Chains A and B, each alone.
Chain A
């Protein structure tokens, strides 16, 4: 059914920036008029309204309930993309389809995963976590014993340090938001605060770092500061209410909210308190990124403030001129998102987007912006600020400091790390969306 909006209502809506961006409060003021006129993004044009009819599913009792619910078979194509579908002896990436989900919590089956030597099949009863090194009492924990500790829950994004790496390309790579930014997801994590366990082991005053190690075949290892351990680090046991997915670290992982994904060591089996960082393979090589002057950043840790538009984005076409909601996600390893602005004219003018509550630190924040597309060319961008006062750098600022590639890399390649600049989507007269630099 289509509602015919009151034309006068629509025309009264206040423009806040060029090329049709409307005041973020437009929905509240105009109510159903705008809501009814709002158009969705789609892969195909939908048919015009027809006379309503009863469908077969409304005329017979439905199917039986399953012990563990499955999504509708109509949704089976909403999946992660795999970089290593045949399990060759190398890293496997599975990317979140940001353009095909909404809200701020990534469903467990769509949470991104990266495993560097496959996903281990861990028997939770045999798994152990040992905390040792510069402690007063080395202790071993089972999943069962950890499950009896006081727990905390928090929403936290996890983002690979290599997320958005194709954006370092000197030319914009045509790819979906899933391919470009799919190595970030957000979940509610529940577990035991690491500080609770360190209270019981005691900490030697000389301890400054903790080396975390997984039970995977690489015994993947990263160092993180004791300072972070005593702040908000968690031994996560649950992901969105159920035990961790295997690819997310079952049966337990380290959660370092806001820190580079690889540091959130999965299949966690050992924490050793030490005086100095181990300078492990992943911290001194993979996630230490080269700067234009030939030096490299080490111990990047923080995933800095970032945002990108998910709707529309490449693959999600506009269905003709009219009203749309631009939306996307923003997050910062430094805390809450304080502001997101959106541009429809390639950054010439900006309007402030509505931020969907609750605004949680180090978690995805959904932003929304009403837009009246006139059918002409548009370049959509978003830009985020965090509560610590950091702002997402423009591409010019970012490239000046961090550089760009000499050659166009493969879309699945990782030419560099920790990209947090803007993403620009160009909408053409047909409503198709392309990745551009603006």
Chain B
């Protein structure tokens, strides 16, 4: 992943040669190619930026969920030792449980969190297709998409979450 020294020096020379000014300072950071960052570059933005190729359907996700998720999140995501990922009551009190269906503002967060953090014991072992399929299954069980809707980089960001406009930025001046 990291360049050996001579190549590093060469890359720096190229960078300097390209006209970019390097700030005064220790300059001890090593330049790195985006391809070498890819294994860690897993952030998904709400407009879909960062979503990988591939896709999956609720039916595919249902099978994976039963196999890899239900032991904690319960059958069909209705809750177990870990939180339910399906359902949710009204936001009728300040301590109301926040669920994907009643609270989450963006569908991309579902994909992002599954891909980075799940399954609990073996995070980042799911394929992108599996993550799409699980996302599709959870969204479909929550009736946020149809049972036959495939989720991919194009369709997922277009899923409108019910509570999308339920938020107030607390301190806009900080942004």
CB neighbors of B among A250-280 (8 A) = 269-270, 272, 274-280
| Given known contacts A211-B43, A219-B124, A284-B104, A294 and B32 CB-to-CB distance under 8 angstroms | no
* CB–CB A225/B174 < 8 A: yes
* CB–CB B29/A285 < 8 A: no
Q: In the complex, A76 Cα to B65 Cα: how many Å?
A: 46
Report A-chain residues with C-beta under 8 Å of the C-beta of B22.
Answer: 137, 200
Q: In the complex, A415 Cα to B98 Cα: how many Å?
A: 11
| Given known contacts A117-B120, A299-B171, A272 and B109 CB-to-CB distance under 8 angstroms | no
A51 at the interface (CB under 8 A from B): no
**A-B pair number, CB within 8 angstroms:** 197
| Given known contacts A140-B2, A297-B168, A279 and B34 CB-to-CB distance under 8 angstroms | no
CB distance from A335 to the nearest CB of B (A): 13
Q: In the complex, A416 Cα to B110 Cα: how many Å?
A: 22
| Given known contacts A141-B29, A279-B108, A285-B104, A405 and B43 CB-to-CB distance under 8 angstroms | no
Question: Looking at the complex, which one of A130, A149, A221, A291 makes contact with B116 (CB distance below 8 Å)?
Answer: A221
* CB–CB B23/A199 < 8 A: yes
B10 at the interface (CB under 8 A from A): no
Q: What 1/0 flags go to A397-438 for Cβ under 8 Å of B? A: 000001111110100010110000000000000000000000
| Given known contacts A200-B27, A274-B49, A302-B174, A89 and B82 CB-to-CB distance under 8 angstroms | yes
| Given known contacts A138-B37, A213-B40, A301 and B174 CB-to-CB distance under 8 angstroms | yes
| Given known contacts A278-B43, A290-B98, A227 and B174 CB-to-CB distance under 8 angstroms | yes
- Chain B, residue nearest A129 (CB): B29
* CB–CB B28/A149 < 8 A: yes
Report B-chain residues with C-beta under 8 Å of the C-beta of A65.
Answer: none
* CB–CB B166/A89 < 8 A: no
| Given known contacts A294-B166, A296-B166, A219 and B123 CB-to-CB distance under 8 angstroms | yes
Given contacts A403-B94, A416-B95, 8 further A-B contacts (CB under 8 A): A137-B20, A141-B29, A227-B175, A279-B106, A281-B109, A290-B93, A296-B167, A300-B171
Report A-chain residues with C-beta under 8 Å of the C-beta of B41.
Answer: 132, 270, 272
Q: In the complex, A295 Cα to B42 Cα: how many Å?
A: 30
* CB–CB B95/A196 < 8 A: no
Report B-chain residues with C-beta under 8 Å of the C-beta of A218.
Answer: 116-117, 123
A288 at the interface (CB under 8 A from B): yes
Question: Looking at the complex, which one of A219, A294, A409 makes contact with B42 (CB distance below 8 Å)?
Answer: A219
Residue total for B at the interface (Cβ-Cβ under 8 A): 57
- Chain B, residue nearest A300 (CB): B170
A292 at the interface (CB under 8 A from B): yes
Question: Looking at the complex, which one of B40, B45, B166 makes contact with A269 (CB distance below 8 Å)?
Answer: B40
A72 at the interface (CB under 8 A from B): no
CB neighbors of A among B64-107 (8 A) = 72, 81-82, 91-96, 98, 103-106
* CB–CB B103/A296 < 8 A: yes
* CB–CB B29/A276 < 8 A: no
Q: Could you give 27 example pairs across A and B, Cβ below 8 Å?
A: A138-B34, A139-B30, A140-B29, A140-B30, A145-B28, A148-B26, A149-B26, A149-B28, A168-B94, A200-B25, A201-B29, A217-B123, A225-B174, A227-B174, A274-B45, A279-B45, A279-B46, A279-B108, A280-B112, A290-B91, A290-B96, A291-B94, A297-B170, A299-B171, A302-B170, A302-B174, A405-B94
- Chain A, residue nearest B30 (CB): A140
* CB–CB A276/B46 < 8 A: yes
CB distance from A233 to the nearest CB of B (A): 12
Residue total for A at the interface (Cβ-Cβ under 8 A): 72
* CB–CB A298/B174 < 8 A: no
- Chain B, residue nearest A291 (CB): B94
B31 at the interface (CB under 8 A from A): yes
Report A-chain residues with C-beta under 8 Å of the C-beta of B95.
Answer: 168, 290, 405-407, 409, 413, 415-416
- Chain B, residue nearest A200 (CB): B23
Question: Looking at the complex, which one of B32, B124, B174 makes contact with A139 (CB distance below 8 Å)?
Answer: B32
Q: Which residues of B contact A (CB under 8 A)?
A: 2, 15, 20, 22-23, 25-34, 37, 40-47, 49, 72, 81-82, 91-96, 98, 103-106, 108-109, 112-113, 116-117, 120-121, 123-124, 166-171, 174-175
Report A-chain residues with C-beta under 8 Å of the C-beta of B47.
Answer: 276
CB distance from A115 to the nearest CB of B (A): 13
Report A-chain residues with C-beta under 8 Å of the C-beta of B33.
Answer: 138
- Chain B, residue nearest A269 (CB): B40
Question: Looking at the complex, which one of B15, B40, B81, B117 makes contact with A117 (CB distance below 8 Å)?
Answer: B117
- Chain A, residue nearest B122 (CB): A217
A339 at the interface (CB under 8 A from B): no
Q: In the complex, A423 Cα to B32 Cα: how many Å?
A: 51
Report, nearest first, the 5 A-B pairs whose CB atoms are least far apart: A139-B29, A415-B95, A145-B28, A199-B23, A298-B167
* CB–CB A284/B174 < 8 A: no
Report A-chain residues with C-beta under 8 Å of the C-beta of B124.
Answer: 219
* CB–CB B168/A298 < 8 A: yes
CB distance from B168 to the nearest CB of A (A): 5
A392 at the interface (CB under 8 A from B): no
CB distance from B70 to the nearest CB of A (A): 15
CB neighbors of B among A5-55 (8 A) = none
A329 at the interface (CB under 8 A from B): no
CB distance from A127 to the nearest CB of B (A): 12
Report A-chain residues with C-beta under 8 Å of the C-beta of B105.
Answer: 279, 284, 298
Q: In the complex, A269 Cα to B108 Cα: how many Å?
A: 22
| Given known contacts A200-B22, A219-B123, A274-B49, A285 and B98 CB-to-CB distance under 8 angstroms | yes
Q: In the complex, A168 Cα to B93 Cα: how many Å?
A: 12
* CB–CB A292/B94 < 8 A: yes
* CB–CB B94/A137 < 8 A: no
- Chain A, residue nearest B124 (CB): A219
